[in-house]
Amino acid sequence: NAGVTQTPKFRVLKTGQSMTLLCAQDMNHEYMYWYRQDPGMGLRLIHYSVGEGTTAKGEVPDGYNVSRLKKQNFLLGLESAAPSQTSVYFCASSPGTSLSTDTQYFGPGTRLTVL
Amino acid sequence: GNSVTQMEGPVTLSEEAFLTINCTYTATGYPSLFWYVQYPGEGLQLLLKATKADDKGSNKGFEATYRKETTSFHLEKGSVQVSDSAVYFCALRYNNDMRFGAGTRLTVKP
C-alpha cells in the first residue's frame, strides 16, 4: 500500500547544480501537485497537473520545471539550484473530481539543501 | 487575493484539555476549507474538510465549522491526547489556488 512516494528523501546540492525529484502514486489519481514547505510559511504550490501530459503554474513556479509523461509520475526539476531553493518538497495527488474539493494525499517529503 | 491566517504556536496543553486553534481566511470566491495534520518526519494528512458555508467537518474527535460571516474555520477538540501532538495546518482551495496557513505546533503533555 505505497500511496505517494518521493525519491530521494534527502539531497545536498551546490549552487548551480541541477537535479530532478521524482513523485510516484499508485492510486490512479488524475491530479498531482508539488509544494515546498519553508519554516513559518506553510506550504506553497509550485506546479500542478490535472492529467497526463498537462502541467500548470502554482504560486511559486520560478526556478522549477515539471513534467507528467506518465499518469503515475510527476517530476520536479531544478535546472540551476540556488540557496533560496533550500526547502522541504512535498508531492501530493488527488482523484481528479475537483481542484477545490478533492482530498489530497501527500508523500513523505524530500529535504533539499543548496549550499 | 486568497490567504489563510492561523493562530501562532506553539501550543502546549495537558492531556484531556480542550483545544482551539483559530483559523481565518480571505477569499475572493467561495473556497473549500481544510485542516491537515503533520506528524514528525511525515507528509500532511487530511484531518477534516468543509466545502460550503455552515458545513461542519469532523474526524477523530476534531471539529471545525465553516463560518462565512466571520470568515473562520477554527479547529476544536474536547479532550486532547498525547498522540495528538503534531503540527496543524489550515488551508483553503478555490479552483487552482491553494493556500496554507503557517502551521500551529501542538504539544500535549501527560
Contact: B100, A4; criterion CB under 8 Å? no
DSSP B103: -
Contact: B43, A56; criterion CB under 8 Å? no
Contact: A103, B49; criterion CB under 8 Å? yes
Q: Contacts of residue B44 in chain A, CB cutoff 8 Å?
A: 43, 90, 92, 104, 106
Shortest distance, CA B73 to any CA of chain A (angstroms) = 15
Question: Could you give the count of Cα atoms lying within 13 Å of A97 in the half-sphere of its Cβ?
Answer: 5
Is the model more confident about A115 or about B9? Answer: A115
pLDDT exceeds 90 at position A49: yes
Short-list A60, A42, A38, CA closest to B25:
A42
**Cell numbers representing residue B61 in the block:** 474527535
Whether B71 and B25 have beta carbons less than 8 Å apart is answered as yes
Whether B28 and B20 have beta carbons less than 8 Å apart is answered as no
- ∠ CA A31-A37-A38, rounded to 5°: 160
Whether A68 and A85 have beta carbons less than 8 Å apart is answered as no
Contact: A107, B44; criterion CB under 8 Å? no
Q: What is the pLDDT of residues A71-113, one digit of tens each?
A: 999 999 999 999 999 999 999 999 998 888 889 999 999 999 9
pLDDT at B8: 83
Contact: A100, B51; criterion CB under 8 Å? yes
Mean pLDDT over residues B19-39, rounded? 94
Q: What percent of chain A has pLDDT over 70?
A: 99
Q: What is the pLDDT of residues B59-69, one digit of tens each?
A: 999 999 999 99
Whether B82 and B67 have beta carbons less than 8 Å apart is answered as no
pLDDT at A1: 65
Q: Contacts of residue A4 in chain B, CB cutoff 8 Å?
A: 43
Task: Classify residue B103 as exposed, middle or buried by CB count within 10 Å of its CB (0-12, 13-18, 19+).
Answer: buried
Q: Return residues 9-48 of B near A (CB < 8 Å).
A: 31-32, 41-46
Average pLDDT, chain B: 94
Residue with cell 510527476: A74
pLDDT exceeds 90 at position B81: yes
Helices and strands of chain B, counted as H and E runs: 0, 12
Residue B57, CA distances (Å) to A15, A35, B15, B46 in order: 44, 24, 23, 11
Whether B79 and B16 have beta carbons less than 8 Å apart is answered as yes
Shortest distance, CA B78 to any CA of chain A (angstroms) = 25
DSSP A74: E
Question: Could you give the count of Cα atoms lying within 13 Å of A66 in the half-sphere of its Cβ?
Answer: 28
Whether B60 and B68 have beta carbons less than 8 Å apart is answered as no
pLDDT at B4: 95
